[in-house]
Structure 1
Amino acid sequence: MLARRLYRCSEDVKVTLFKAYCQNMYSGNLWTSYTKKSLDTLRVQYNNVFRMLLGLPRFCSASAMFAEYQVDGFAAIIRKKTTSLIFRARGSPNSILQTLADRIILLLLNSNC
């Protein structure tokens, strides 16, 4: 319905509306208890909404599509939100939050080795 209503809008307007309404994943940095399957389903829907809004073919490459329009993909949004949460906790005056954030960073660094 939205794609039909916004049909006459420019691509810039559509991208701006997508960023405003679809990239604001409230508390996305805390989505740790969800299964990979449920996050993959959400990622696919995120990609499909962008395709439909811009009238792109169903099977076009998601990474190329987001790169062309300079929009963050689903994984980038979650990664940025998580990083932001960790660094805000690390910069907090609360020593417990600082310690937890430091331990999380150490866990992440050790898991990537």
Structure 2
Amino acid sequence: MLCGAPLKVVDRFKYLGHMLTNELNDDLDLERERRATAVRGNMLARRFARCNKSVKLTLFRAYCQNFYTCSLWVKFTQRAYNALRVQYNNILRMLLRLPKHCSASGMFAEARIDDFFAIRRKRIASMLRRVRGSSNSLLRVLAERLDCPITKFWVEVAIGRAK
């Protein structure tokens, strides 16, 4: 109840583009992002198949590297995480017409594009920096407490200890 009015209880809710679940698990949001990335990647591959590599890489950066709420992904299964990472890798392969089993790390290095792990680390480091620099004293206190689960996770990802 809120001010005497009954609240509807739901298992999941999309808030500002991020899927929230009653288990506080991020698998649904990872799947939402995987599907959205697949749609954008397939569109790029179809519409820009005849463009040169430079144009394709610019489009890939603009449309496939914007993992909007990835800094909030804290509790997820390895399966959901890997599905998104593999989708991301496969889109670049498809866009550049590379063989299915070519090395992902080599492909990203040659193209001078951040891989999935680098994007996530950068987004998390940016979020931690913004929260620590916030004018909101509650956010600053949380960000400085290493016993806070999300802060601990952010720091571990940012320094490369966790995925």
Under a length normalisation based on structure 2, what TM-score does the superposition of the two structures give?
A: 0.62
The structure carrying a bigger strand percent of its residues is 2
Taking only the aligned residue pairs, the percentage that are identical comes to: 52
The structure carrying a bigger helix percent of its residues is 1
Amino acid at match of 1:18: F
Aligned-residue Cα RMSD (Å) equals 1.9
Higher relative contact order (CA 8 A, sep 6+): 1
Structure 2 unaligned residues grouped into runs of 5+: 1-41
After superposition, residues 1-113 of structure 1 pair within 5 angstroms as 2=43, 3-104=45-146, 107=152, 108=155
Q: Which runs of 4+ in 1 moved over 6 A?
A: none
Amino acid at match of 2:84: L
Deviations along 1:28-57, one digit per CA (max 9) or x if unpaired, are 110112212101110001000000000011
Structure 1 unaligned residues grouped into runs of 5+: none
Under a length normalisation based on structure 1, what TM-score does the superposition of the two structures give?
A: 0.88
Partners of 2:146 and 2:97 in 1: CA distance: 41
Cα deviation for residue 4 of structure 1 reads 3.8
Amino acid at match of 1:100: L
- Residue-pair matches, total: 110
Larger Rg computed on CA atoms: 2
